[in-house]
Amino acid sequence: MANSYSPIDGSLLPWEVDALRQDNLVEFEDTGRFFRETLGTLQLDETISEGTLEVIYEGMCSFMPIVARRDRFDEFGEGLIYQVQYRVLIPWEVTGIRITDRFKILTTRDPDLVSREFEVRDVHRTTDIGQRRITVHDIER
């Protein structure tokens, strides 16, 4: 009979990870889309090829500001601008999201957030994962 307790090294057993993943689904009250845009390129015949839009994930998520964090400034032109960061939680099985991908909120209870776009800053990965954590920051176009 298999051991029903966690190993001494502190890692989780498969059934514990599955239970954690199921429990985390109740946190996802919003919906959003992660996507990757590529711009058109100049061709030899001086035409511009079409850009592409690849949807990486669209579905349930949870969106919240990161309030306990270090201030982060990014260079913009010749100055510095402050950029607010947010945490997006999505199901653990979503893969392929990269830094500089975009995120758009599709539905949420906050009407000011609907249809806003953000840029991916960090993708958190770990072995015993219950949900995928993505850090995004505000971009104004």
pLDDT digits (tens, 9 = 90+) for 65-104: 887 655 555 555 555 566 678 999 998 889 999 999 999 9
Assign residue 95 the CATH number of its domain. Answer: 2.40.10.270
Range of the domain at 125: 14-138
pLDDT at 56 over 90: yes
Structural domain includes residue 3? no
Name the residue with tokens 């001494």.
8
d(CA 20, CA 129): 8
The residues, any chain, with a CB within 8 Å of residue 124's CB and separated by 6 or more, are: 132, 133, 134, 135
- pLDDT 10s digits, 44-53: 887 877 778 8
Quote the number of domains for the chain: 1
Q: What is the DSSP string of 9-38?
A: T-PPPHHHHHHHHHHHGGG--EEEEEEEEE
Cβ–Cβ < 8 Å for 56, 36:
yes
Structural domain includes residue 9? no
Question: The whole model's pTM is what?
Answer: 0.70
Structural domain includes residue 1? no
